[in-house]
Structure 1
């Protein structure tokens, strides 16, 4: 039995009331213009609905597939309803911890942890491919400083490069935060080559005016505030985070922030679902084998 508070899932239950609702939403997201065979690109098919997860058989090559293949949901034994609840709660202003999620949808902690990390994997995948353009600011900063003591570093703070687009008022819109390799410690900071690598990977140079702020004492303040807000938000929900998975959590924060800033509540969920359907499956072993400190280039 799933336990939850009414306010957390009220909007969810207005959209998805059954396993069938979730499956049809997934099929529509997987093939928005109708079925396309992944093997021969034929568009004709037969739907085989005798199983819990419907199969689609190509009318030409007879290849069978499902809407879950090639997504983060592939191979799951959980009801899609639980996955969709997890997606909905993932979009809460400060996200949701695995400890809380396992209580809400009645699964083990390990299962809840894996579900959330698969969703983060989708967010990281898309975050790494987004390009900033227009009026862009780039800071050399540290994640993990106490926001109320900005001049005091911390032995477990991590050097980051943060970039954003800004509106006419100078406020950050889309934000990307990238960890700098081997950068945890009080005296660690991003070098100029790290800022250059960030710009090469995440900024559309041809359509951007880039403001670079490489000095810790002279950063673009609104962007620095976003990094501090990320620290406060992630700490309040997850506590201390391992460096091994920190980049995924940072991408979760920036991705959710951008969705909440630019999308309606319903379209946020649709866009997150699209990410999860587009990104190939990742196994538990692959998740736990992530390098502790990937290079800026390796993130993409």
Structure 2
């Protein structure tokens, strides 16, 4: 599906559940059906429901087209899911409020759909490591609210890494720096070591790391990309707190990385959405929220110097 297609054209093409079901089948099983239980390839198609069931001819396990995907357990029609995936694959992204008004769902439903799609983006990106010539810089989401060493709760220190090919950034990773890798507003070397360990290919040897805010050795294109991520999040979503910030950073990276490839972003995002299990609402709301603790720490720090 070419992303030069307008949203209206897209909706006209995927205008019913059968068309969407067939596309989801192809995205989930591009080489043909594989039974999730026994890996057998032959099946019976049961069409007594709105969406078909696939029954394995070997073990008898029945699989719905939604099970094992980010859409599992959702009562939202597939065509609305497809519209949401299309809009998330677009460079500008979309907020839950705007999505709800377009596809005609409640805000809560749209909000959960958005986070499930971002979860697919994050999961897909986690397996694609930086390699080759890699540069890593510190960054920040938000802005410095005070000139002291104490970090304001709305300042979120980041590390951004990029693969450089012929003076061009081809692949990026942006990660929040956890509190235990910070000393006041400074990023520790443990943070950069963890970044390298988890996000760079083990064979990568040409690595330059700069974690000091005002170092003249910072790689400016990475700093500009970090600022672009901040601007995109603020303009599209009116700002994000620390609890869910990482998923929005992952979405920015997903969009940037796929823009550098000759690959259709919708088809790639649909494929990821079809092979990764869903993010449940309880798991989503249990994500650690450090904002209240940061506010308490900040208040205590100010009292100690007053």
TM range (shorter): 0.7 to 0.9
CA pair 12-186 structure 1, distance change in 2 beyond 3 A? farther
Please list the CA deviations of residues 245-275 of structure 1 after superposition, one character each: whole Å capped at 9, or x if unmatched.
00011001111121223244xx211110111
Q: 1:288 aligns with which of 271, 285, 293?
A: 285
Contact 2:181 2:188 in 1 (8 A): no
Rg bigger for which structure? 2
Q: Does 1:271 align with 2:259?
A: no
Runs of 4+ in 1 over 3 A off after TM superposition: 183-187
Q: Does 1:259 align with 2:258?
A: yes
Aligned to 2:236: 237
Give the superposition deviation at 1:123.
1.0
Q: 1:182 aligns with which of 167, 179, 184?
A: 179
Contact 2:181 2:187 in 1 (8 A): no
Query: Aligned partners of 1:95 and 1:243: how far apart in 2?
Result: 19
Please list the CA deviations of residues 8-66 of structure 1 after superposition, one character each: whole Å capped at 9, or x if unmatched.
51352364232211110100111111111111221111000121121011112111112
Give the superposition deviation at 1:87.
0.6
Contact 1:132 1:203 in 2 (8 A): yes
TM-score, normalised by the number of residues in structure 2: 0.85
Aligned to 1:49: 47
TM-score, normalised by the number of residues in structure 1: 0.87
The alignment of Structure 1 onto Structure 2 pairs a total of residues equal to 278
What secondary structure is seen at the aligned counterpart in 2 of 1:205?
coil
Aligned to 1:24: 22
CA-atom RMSD, angstroms?
A: 2.1
Query: Aligned partners of 2:143 and 2:164: how far apart in 1?
Result: 24
Provide structure 1 residue ranges, at least 5 long, that are not aligned to the other structure. 1-6, 147-152, 294-300
Aligned to 1:149: none
Instruction: Please give the residue correspondences for 1:1-300 in structure 2 after superposition, counting only pairs within 5 Å.
Output: 9-13=7-11, 15-145=13-143, 156-168=154-166, 170-182=167-179, 187-218=184-215, 219-264=218-263, 267-292=264-289
Provide structure 2 residue ranges, at least 5 long, that are not aligned to the other structure. 145-150, 291-306
Query: Aligned partners of 1:225 and 1:92: how far apart in 2?
Result: 21
